[in-house]
């Protein structure tokens, strides 16, 4: 699938980075591919953090923007948020 601008929402900011929320049926392996967020290059900055929710699996991961140069955005592989409940 592909990036969908309607699914990216800025939820907060700080002097050293913004926090974003992104939902998609795309797997984290697709979302963390260099170039996935190119259409958002004018909004995303290095060190921004994106909470990525995969609605198909479902999983939730944190990624951060590693680079954004000449319209090419690359994010980290992602850190999965454990979604277990043992009680």
For residue 29, the SS3 value is helix
The total number of structural domains that make up the chain: 1
63 inside domain:
yes
Structural domain including 16 reads 5-75
Higher local confidence (pLDDT), 44 or 84: 44
Residue 85 placed within a domain: no
Residue 84 belongs to a domain: no
- What pLDDT is stored for residue 72 in this prediction? 97
Over pLDDT 90: what percentage of the chain? 84
Separation between Cα atoms, residue 49 and residue 70, nearest integer Å: 20
How far, in Å, CA of 54 to CA of 73, rounded? 19
Assigned domain for 87 exists: no
Residue 41 lies in a domain: yes
Question: Residue 30, SS3?
Answer: helix
Three-state DSSP state, 36: coil
For the cut 90, the answer to whether the pLDDT of residue 65 exceeds it is yes
Token couple for 85? 């409940």
Question: Does residue 86 belong to any structural domain of this protein?
Answer: no
């Amino acid at each position: 699938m592909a990036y969908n601008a309607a699914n990216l929402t800025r939820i907060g900011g700080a002097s050293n980075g913004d926090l974003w929320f992104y939902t998609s049926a795309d797997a984290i392996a697709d979302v963390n591919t260099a170039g996935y967020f190119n259409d958002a290059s004018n909004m995303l900055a290095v060190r921004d953090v994106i909470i990525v929710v995969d609605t198909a699996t479902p999983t939730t991961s944190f990624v951060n923007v590693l680079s954004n140069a000449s319209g090419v955005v690359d994010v980290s592989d992602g850190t999965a948020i454990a979604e277990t409940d043992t009680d």
